[in-house]
Structures are given as structure tokens and as C-alpha cells.
Structure 1
Amino acid sequence: MNPNDFTSFLAEMAQDTIHVIDASIPKSSYCSIDLSDTNADLLNVAIASSEAWDVYLTNYLKTHNKKVAFGGYLEKRGIYNRSDYFNNQNPETERNIHLGLDLWVAAGTVVLAAFDAEIHSFKDNTNFGDYGPTIILKHTINAIEFYSLYGHLSRESITKLQVGEKVKQGETIAHLGTAEVNGDYAPHLHFQIIKDLQANRGDYPGVSSGRDLEFYKTNCPDPEIILKLK
């Protein structure tokens, strides 16, 4: 499918309000946040520390009188420098460009299926700075197959899942994890749409190098197309 056609398809599917976290939190309680390496405010944050990130985000939400901070699609971020899993010291292949949309909110918050789906796969991705517990859903709508990825979940979220299990749009599929299990981040959901999963199971790159970005931009379109948070 042409990438533009897939984007148009997603836009058509988003005519109704879609939530991927607790639907009782109105979207008026969301605010955007910039966590790119161009945000001068982050110069005063110890980005290697999940505790420091948690303090920064808690204060940010309090200042804006909101409950959820969102953003991050195609952001170039300095936080990945702390992990050898992303940083190989080669500017061409270092992965530091974020491919999903993050929703920063409290640990334990419920995570919801974006569309009717089946459980494709799940895995605890335990590399430092990785997703931690992760669920991938497979969607088939109007004969078009695609996937959605939910990362940084609680470990309990993946203990009783079964591949092939059916879930309905808006159904609770998981809860957000703490820094101790979610890859050492302040609690948040990494939500990503994927056209071609490329034979991956329970995992898919959520951060790209500059060299590979053009492919991932078309294979992983902006989740804002369906979430409509802005």
C-alpha cells in the first residue's frame, strides 16, 4: 500500500474519539511537551536519572494544570545517549529519533486498545532504556492489516496474555509500569503504529537513526493522525 494511502486510511478510522490510556481522562487534560535535545530547560535535568525525569514531568504537569503530557514523534532526544543499546558512537547509525508518541502519566494508568484487534505478541524487553514489558496488537480493518505497539507496561500486564486473543477497541489491555520495570523511565506509554512489522514479535524499533529515518517515517506514521491530541 502506498504510504499516503495508509495515512488516509488511518485518518478515516479516526472519525470517533480514540483513547489509548484511561478514557475517563478528557483530552482537555492533556498538554504537549518537548523533550527534544533542543529544549534548553532539559539542560538542568539529569537525563540519565528516571527520578529526575519524574520530578521534571510532575512539575511540568502541575505548572500546566494538566494530567497527561504527550508528544515525541520524530523528536531527536539526548536521553538515549545514556544507553549502549541505542548509542554506538557512530553519528550515522546512532539511534536517537523517536518513532512513537509518548503519553506521560502515572504508573498504574490503564492502557486501552486503539482498535479491535488480536494479541499478536508480547515480550519483556529488558535492555537498559528499552520498552520493558511490551504488547503488540494486530488489526485487520477493511482487509488492511497493521499493528499497534504499547511499551513501558507493568510486568503483570503480560503474565496472562495469549497470542491470538481477541480484544475490542477501548478495552483495557495493560497498565503502565514503574521505572523499575519499564526500561528506567518516568512512567509513560510509548504508542506506535506500524504498517509492516517485519517479522518482529513483541518488539519493534521505537527509535531510529538518521540514516534509516525515511523508511520508518513511512512504516510508522504519526499516531496523532488517530489520537487527535493537538
Structure 2
Amino acid sequence: MSNLETTLKNIQNVELIDSSVDHPYYFPIDLSVSNNELSKHNLGTAADFQRYVENILASNNSTVAYGGYKEERNLYKKSPIFKNNKTEERNIHLGIDLWTKAGTNVLSALDGTIHSFKNNVGLGDYGPTIILEHRLENQQFYTLYGHLALESLENLKIGAFFKKGEQLAVLGEASVNGNYAPHLHFQIIKNLGNNFGDYPGVCSKKDLAFYLENCPDPNLLLKIQA
């Protein structure tokens, strides 16, 4: 375990979305290629997928469906940004997704400053995205918040400070979030490189080792599941 991963594991009481929703009301969701149950449902549109998530939540008396780190998914086949003739298919998820209602408050996971933000438009992309920069125990790293509402980017300034647990944004509708059911994509990034307001949230099998090293498991910080 790296120094950063150890630091993340030792941080307590981290909230990412509306603090009124406690972890007992989170339910794990499996969107992997190995989940044969998915093929039994018509999930061709964002609305179809939203109904699927809502049914899972209702059946389990839950408010948030979560999961996805290192998950190989067929979800991205709908968009050409994840596969073209020159590159290997990107279908392994590098963050954690929290599926819940559009308009839900998104909170800053830790004290941090705005590194960058951008509306990553296009089918399958992040839509409105914010990246925070953090410094803890002489370590610099970043957190990415994707699939936000457009108003989340209004009046933002690079360098603006947000406290841990402070409202940072709200979740967006399918019409602005890359055409997904409403959810937050949250990712931890050690080295952002030259990226600005964007960073790959899905990778190919060929590049998996690099990205897993650069993007630690968000649950080390969130502790949603032991």
C-alpha cells in the first residue's frame, strides 16, 4: 500500500453526497459484464437505466446505489469515445459511481482547491466536471467529480477553496451528463499530468496496471463497504 493509500485509509467521516443520506441507505450495484441479470432488462436509454436503478433502490429500501471500481462494463459500448479503429476498447471503470436522483448535493470529499473544471460534452462523456487539488501530509493528489449539473460550473474560480463536506455541486440530468442515469463519478488521481477539467475514468485492459497505480480505490477514503 502506497503512502497516499495509507493516508486515505486513515481519514474518517468522508461524505460525497447529501450528508442526510447515511451509508445504511447505500446499496451495492453490479454493472459488470459478468452480471447476466443485466441482459434481462432493456437498458438502451438513460431513462431505461434510471428506472432499473430506481427499482433496485426501492426493492432494497435504499437511496444510493454504489460501486464500479475496477469493474469491466458493457455500458460504454454506446459511445464511440471508448473505442475506435486505432485503440483498444476502454471498458474498465476507474472510479466509484454513486447512483441517485438528479439535483442531489455533491460535497467536497476533503479540504481542497479548484484545480480545473470543464463541461465535457458528448455521448458517454462526463458532462460538467470539477477537479479538486488536495495536499495532505506532504502529498499532492486530486479528486474528480463528474456528471454534474451545468449550474455547478457557474461562478467557479480556479484556486477557490472548499472545505471537507462543503457543497461543491449538484448532480445533473441525462441531458447534460453524457446521457447517463443521474450519478456521481468520483475518482482519486495521484498524477493528473497536463489534464485540465478532465481525466480518463475508463481504461483498456492494456493500460489497467498504470491506471490502477495512479487511481487508488476510492473506497479507501469513503469506507462505504468494509
Q: TM-score range by the shorter chain?
A: over 0.9
Q: Which residue of 2 aligns with 1:199?
A: 194
CA shift at 1:44, angstroms?
2.3
* 2: CA distance, partners of 1:33 / 1:39: 10
Within the alignment, does 1:162 sit opposite 2:160 as a pair?
A: no
* 1:85 partner SS: helix
CA shift at 1:154, angstroms?
0.1
* 1: CA distance, partners of 2:169 / 2:58: 26
Query: Between Structure 1 and Structure 2, how many residues are aligned?
Result: 225
The answer to whether the Cα contact below 8 Å between 1:151 and 1:191 also exists between their aligned partners in 2 is: yes
Q: How does 1:1-230 map to 2 (within 5 A)?
A: 4-12=2-10, 14=11, 16-88=12-84, 93-230=88-225
Aligned-residue identity in percent: 49
CA shift at 1:127, angstroms?
1.9
1:110-161 Cα distance to aligned partner (Å, 9 max, x none): 0000110000000000021000000000001122110000000000000210
**Structure 1 residue ranges (4+ consecutive) displaced by more than 4 angstroms after TM superposition:** none
Change (3 A) 1:34 1:6: same
* 2: CA distance, partners of 1:179 / 1:118: 27
The two structures have a TM-score, normalised by structure 1, of 0.95
**Unmatched tracts of structure 2, length 5 or more:** none
Letter in 2 for 1:86: F
* 1: CA distance, partners of 2:169 / 2:17: 9
The answer to whether the Cα contact below 8 Å between 1:47 and 1:79 also exists between their aligned partners in 2 is: no
CA shift at 1:225, angstroms?
0.3
* 2: CA distance, partners of 1:145 / 1:7: 12
> What CA RMSD, in Å, does the superposition of the two structures yield over aligned residues?
1.2
CA shift at 1:41, angstroms?
1.3
